Structure 1
């Protein structure tokens, strides 16, 4: 399985933010953003900081993609 941070990059675009804005707002390092840009694993603390800074959930910033497939796992609809 692979991790994709495409939802995060889309969220930044929607909020008219740049990666450097995310770094300043969340307090994460440039190296963490670079790792995410390459689809590498990052510490859950980094993901938590991003979610807090952007007021969103983990599914809003990342998705799991099964091996041999380009489609992410779908998350079940949550009842509100």
Structure 2
């Protein structure tokens, strides 16, 4: 199952933050950010740090995509 972080990237734009700001302020590693950039899963601890920083819930920063959704979205 693929993890889509588009909501997080939009949130960063809305907050006028760079990805390096996210690393520093949420205290996550650059490896975590790299995995997120590849739409891979990361630890709940890292997700929790990001949610804590923005005062939001998990579904405000990511969504899971099933293989069927990925095929449908890429075929549009």
Which bin holds the TM-score, normalised by the shorter protein?
Answer: 0.7 to 0.9
User: How many residues in Structure 1 have an aligned counterpart in Structure 2?
Assistant: 72
TM-score (norm: length of structure 1): 0.83
Runs of 4+ in 1 over 2 A off after TM superposition: none
Instruction: Give the RMSD, CA atoms, in angstroms.
Output: 1.5
Paired position in structure 1 for 2:25: 25
More helix by share: 2
Where do 5+ consecutive residues of structure 2 fail to align?
none
Deviations 1:29-80 (A, max 9, x none): 0110000000011000000000001111101110011212147xxxxxxxxx
Instruction: Return the structure number with greater relative CO, CA threshold 8 A, min gap 6.
Output: 2
TM-score (norm: length of structure 2): 0.87
Paired position in structure 1 for 2:40: 40
Where do 5+ consecutive residues of structure 1 fail to align?
72-80
